[in-house]
Structure 1
């Protein structure tokens, strides 16, 4: 290898820079491809505008969705932070494996319903579900802010990671500020070109790059003796089991990932999925990802303990870069491996940063700007791009401030978003959940979490060694339940006194909320339970109807078991197994306080990996056998309705082209419609006779006239009508076939 190509002690060599440059060029190509796709979709009359920009037109395919979800979950911390944690704490870093598996578990419960609601109800923003389900302006904006604030903080940390990574790779030749600025310009360029489609395509490149990088890590570790000798020679560091208190913290950390499924950038990917089959495949890949991605990162940190002994806490933060540079000095082949690992580190950080930017611009544009000004889609896209540019610039400036911690901001994001979980789960699977108790619980949970988070940064630390988010969600559920019970008792008292109406939004007792068509207290009935307490409009949103249909809420929609959530006993059993996995992080000691080592691993680590593997298999089986991925009947209903409306519009245009006639009474909101002349060769009586055959009762009179010439008739009608004169035109609300003499027109 030429010396110019090979790395020096203070430089990675131009070969590595070439590979990094090729990766960065691929992101621009992906942005251009996304831009062309968007133009093509618009030209063909397919989904466009904001839906195309933010949700890729709902058309992310199998490979793209799987890779973009993978790139979204695994940020730069997986490559940089997890190895450093494994170096310092040993196998405690395996908590990240169970954490990612928790994301896959909750995804098979939440994703099927979220995708169904997006298709049927036409959602654009991740917060649209909360507005649609609860019909509360305050709750909708509170959820938006709960998404926005921690995500903004975490995105700032990603920009800091971008700058420090470039500075570290170049050995200080490129400053952190300049490196972050250059990558940000590139990121903004491809995002503005293609929106989520461009982000997803670049994530696909990044995802394959990460998988390749992690595989190469394992190959290097295995080719250099594996980790068995490292563990045996440093048993005091790696083979000491956790205490019971440590086990509890291990499990609580993993359980905190249950809220990750409500990350707005994660929800966007699910909402943009092409179909349930695509979503299921992406979750199957995610279920395997702890072993494909997180495990190699942990093992790298263990191996680095042998390669770079006696690093202090600050020095250990650079374990990944030290490892890569050592790999690059071991020959031409390993130089290429090291260069790919460096490109992987940049890709991982950029994939998280671009996801954060597009979601922040979506939340600000759709949830806050749109309600104020009601601009056009084109204007909103300009606002969205401007918002991305402004926030990116602000993030670069803030990232230069000292004390910005990637791990700390990740924890803040995780624990605040956890508080939305009760509102989402109860809203999806129960009909009694109401905006008032849900809002009260969310406010209480957020307040306590924020207060305890501030306290945890002091010397006092977290209360009872429990993460603030868990205390917050406990108070959240407690306040929600207490408020619901209080409202229920108040309602029952009012009904008993005869002073309450079932149409009141405060009527939320179980006796008045049954299945569709049931009769509630007082003998009054209604068609939809949610119309009792969750109806109305939310200012600035484009919601369908006065409330969400109850048939979309609860278990066994349509009386069928179509989702893993419809098997609660199995899902709870799997959750218990995963939740207890951390408590198996124990093992018998040999009298010296150290665990027995088998197959190069401490016994407690081996047991943990076996249990985690069983849980992984359980998730995969649940996704394959319990999830009916055929098109849902409710989606078919919506598609049939859209097709009928499109056909009606087409027929009206064709009818209008035949000529102008008299005006007929329109349906509400339709406006006046001219009745075209009688088709050639048809009398008015014949047209009147053919109307019931040509169309359903809801069909308009104009359409019947337009299509009458296309319908074969067996003969003249039984009644005789003057072929030149028919009575006054009128239609009913339901457009029933009119009797002879209802329409008048001179031929």
Structure 2
């Protein structure tokens, strides 16, 4: 018991300080080695377009597998049982969607110095309406994503320290660290901290799985317990359950692949080979991360059968503290996991904040408010607005509106509405700007209205309904109104010579 209290008390605080100082140190070193970081949009927001395979892999890993994956998905597996296996295939789906557009997007980004996804839409459609609407949707999703990470930081710190560090104190401490190193080193700081947290997280999660099996029993024991006390958690999805799985594959597979911060990493790659190799390595991560987290949530059912929904959000922290009490090896491993989880959450939050700032500074301020502003001025404005947004989201995070899982789903319902413009726009020259705008707007309104009213006709999620309406309007309108000049009909955007789109 004394060991458990040590892990949950002063040791937990020291671990927080240790990881926080490492992240801050990365920002300081990055700033000292690169005096151009605050005078170039490419350098600050894209790391100078020079991220190699390993760093690119870990920064994609940190974007896709955030604090929600470890803290939130294990809790969801605990609550719903084997139905949560859908998390593995939908992470695979994300990789497949990436591969459908990332290489082509990279070539365009390199050729035309694209910094943000809105840059691409502006170049493709030359429509102020499309660009502004897409920017608004992306900023909403990024703000939602950032809120999710703030809640995860608080839950993670509180759970992993046994309540010694209050929820609010953990959030404030790591937000200050995040803003400091992000301001100092930009994308390079973010990418390097991603590498640190990725290694710590992978090692820690696997040790947590081993400890869970050793001390709480394996899958047969968990299955027997569920069969007796909660048989509904063992059921194979049928009918409505299968529709729900299909919804998740579409919503998460497509929606998560068009996260603005993920697309920005495509532009950050050193070359196309590094980009493709990083995706090849990412193909294993659904099994090694989401799969492991799923089993941890299932195995925890035997040890903690009566946790409420709110209590289950701290499940990983509770388990880590218990396992750390068993022997010195697991004690050290859980320290590593503790830091890895918190660093993973913070590293996801910093990349989201960086992309949020880039859209504000380049796509809103630099394009429409002060086109003559220097890169230094744009970066400065992005930083200031970013801090204001963080302060606002902190007020919400103080009393989180729902579980991490609910927050996660909410943002994807809206974000997925930019996917047709981003992905179809890469390949279809006949795309009509007015139809793209109308489809995106009505799709977002349908998704928001259905979500607000709690409507899921035929069991289909509101975001998927919005996407279907969006695509029908986009494709139908482009077929009717879109025109491709004969002399340009065979050109492609990979050549950087696009047909002139319809303006709105």
Do the aligned residues in 2 keep the contact of 1:7 with 1:329 (CA within 8 Å)? yes
For residues 513 and 400 of structure 1, do their structure 2 counterparts lie closer, same or farther at Cα, with a shift above 3 Å needed?
A: same
Correspondences of 1:332-371 after superposition (within 5 Å): 332-371=328-367
**In structure 1, how many angstroms separate the alpha carbons of the residues matched to 2:329 and 2:49?**
41
TM-score normalised over the length of structure 1: 0.63
Counterparts of 1:171 and 1:36 in 2: how far apart (Å)? Answer: 38
Cα distance in 2 for partners of 1:49, 1:122 equals: 12
Q: CA deviation at 1:206?
A: 1.0
Tell me if the contact between 1:455 and 1:462 (Cα under 8 Å) persists in the aligned partners.
Answer: no
The 5-angstrom pairing of residues 112-151 of structure 1 reads: 112-151=103-142
Deviation at 1:531, TM superposition (A): 4.0
Question: Residue 551 of structure 1 corresponds to which residue in structure 2?
Answer: none
Counterpart selection for 2:65 from 63, 74, 77: 74
Alpha-carbon distance between aligned partners in 2 of 1:13 and 1:152, rounded to the nearest angstrom: 32
Partner of 1:487 in structure 2? 481
Contact 1:177–1:396 (CA<8 Å) still a contact in 2?
no
Larger RCO, structures 1/2 (Cα 8 Å, 6+ apart): 2
Instruction: Pick the structure with more helix per residue.
Output: 2
Map 1:146-165; keep pairs closer than 5 Å: 146-165=137-156
Quickly say closer, same or farther: Cα 1:532–1:56, change in 2 above 3 A: closer
Distance change in 2, residues 1:394/1:20 (3 Å): same
The C-alpha deviation readout for 1:144-167, integer Å capped at 9, x for no partner, is: 111111211221232122223323
**Residues 48, 57 of structure 1: 8 Å contact kept:** no
Question: Which residue matches 2:448?
Answer: 450
Residue 220 of structure 2 corresponds to residue 228 of structure 1 = yes
Give the unaligned 5+ runs of structure 2.
none
Aligned ranges for residues 647-666 of structure 1 at < 5 Å?
none
1:535-684, aligned counterparts within 5 Å? none
Is residue 2:409 matched to residue 1:427?
A: no
Mark the runs of 5 or more structure 1 residues left unpaired by the alignment: 489-507, 518-526, 539-747
- For normalisation by structure 2, the TM-score amounts to 0.92
Residue 335 and residue 121 in structure 1: after superposition, are their counterparts in 2 closer, same or farther (change >3 A)? same
1:232 Cα shift?
A: 3.6
Q: Within the alignment, does 1:193 sit opposite 2:188 as a pair?
A: no
Deviates more, 1:60-69 or 1:369-378: 369-378
Instruction: Report if aligned partners of 1:160, 1:399 keep a CA contact under 8 Å in 2.
Output: yes
Offset at residue 194 of structure 1 (A): 0.5
Q: Which residue of 1 aligns with 2:501?
A: 533
Residues 78-108 of structure 1: CA distance to partner in whole angstroms, max 9, x if unpaired? 1111111111211111111111101111111
1:327 pairs with 2:323: yes
Distance (Å, rounded) in 1 between the aligned partners of 2:497 and 2:210: 58
* CA distance in structure 2 between the aligned counterparts of 1:328 and 1:107, rounded to whole angstroms: 38
CA distance in 1, matches of 2:467, 2:499: 28
Cα shift at 1:510: 8.4
Change (3 A) 1:16 1:182: closer
How far did residue 350 of structure 1 move? 0.7
Helix, strand or coil for the counterpart of 2:286?
Answer: helix
Find the aligned partners of 1:123 and 1:382 in 2 and give their Cα distance.
19
Bigger radius of gyration: 1
Question: Which of 66, 89, 98 is matched with 2:80 structurally?
Answer: 89
What residue is the counterpart of 1:249 in the other structure? 244
Gap change, CA 1:443 and 1:88, over 3 Å in 2: same
1:468 deviates by 0.5
1:621-677: per-residue Cα shift (whole Å, max 9, x none)?
xxxxxxxxxxxxxxxxxxxxxxxxxxxxxxxxxxxxxxxxxxxxxxxxxxxxxxxxx
**Counterpart of 2:416?**
418
Secondary structure of the structure 2 residue equivalent to 1:241 = coil
Q: Does 1:274 align with 2:267?
A: no
Given candidates 472, 477, 485, the residue that maps to 1:478 is: 472
Number of aligned residue pairs: 495
- Give the equivalent residue in structure 2 for 1:465: 459
- From the superposition, tell whether residues 248 and 136 of structure 1 become closer, same or farther in structure 2 (CA, over 3 Å): same
Larger deviation, residues 220-229 vs 342-351: 220-229
For 2:491 and 2:379, locate their aligned partners in 1 and report how far apart those are by CA, in whole Å. Answer: 40
Rounded to whole Å, the distance in 1 between the matches of 2:306 and 2:256 is 35
